[in-house]
Amino acid sequence: MILLLQQQLKGRTIIQWVPSHSNIPGNELADKYAKEIAQDGEPPVTPLSYNAARAIIKREIRDQAPSHPTISRTYEHLSFKEDRKIGSRRDAALLAQLRSGHCKELAAYRHRIDNSKDDKCPKCQFEAETLQHWISCPATILKRQRIFGDENISLGVMTKQPEPVLAYAKETFHQ
């Protein structure tokens, strides 16, 4: 279906990596359909305009509020208007990875996929570098103050202020 839509679109199409099974809105339904197609073989070819596909998606997909506490706090201020300001595919992918906590830049995530890696924050060494720790690490107080105007930020900034989050990520991950 993506290929059919892609052929009909007159513009640039971006397909973005999103971690599976992370309670990200729309992701569980996409996983379900991908598994069905993988089991049944090729989907039937039905010409579909972009507007028709968009209308079907808006009508059919009704995401439940995320139940996981971290994901719920992360997505509490979701604004597609703010997300549209993200200019590059790389930045959009980094933002999606950060929001889910499945970001290879976070030591706790690297440790989760390879337990020989240390999960401690490389900046402060106080605790595991999870998403929550990353946005409140004592070693980056001055950077948060400069970028966000406050040293105390919550997970809600992940959706409320995506551009400053990316600036903070670029400064704190690539030291």
95-151: per-residue pLDDT in tens?
A: 889 988 889 999 999 999 999 999 999 999 999 999 999 999 999 999 999 999 999
With 50 as the cut, is the pLDDT of residue 175 above it? no
Do residues 33 and 115 both lie within one domain? no
Amino acid letter at 166? L
Do residues 27 and 52 both lie within one domain? yes
Count of domains for the chain: 2
Structural domain boundaries enclosing 45: 1-64
Do residues 76 and 56 both lie within one domain? no
- 139 CB-contact burial (10 Å; exposed 0-12 / middle 13-18 / buried 19+): middle
Do residues 32 and 107 both lie within one domain? no
Do residues 39 and 85 both lie within one domain? no
Q: Under DSSP, is residue 7 helix (H, G, I), strand (E, B) or coil?
A: helix
Do residues 58 and 103 both lie within one domain? no
Tokens representing residue 20 in the block: 């599976």
Of 142, 127, 134, 83, which is closest to residue 105 (Cα–Cα)?
Answer: 134
* pTM (predicted TM-score): 0.60
Do residues 60 and 70 both lie within one domain? no
**pLDDT (tens digit, 9 = 90+) per residue, 26-74?**
677 777 777 877 787 766 667 778 888 778 777 777 666 667 777 667 7
Do residues 93 and 52 both lie within one domain? no
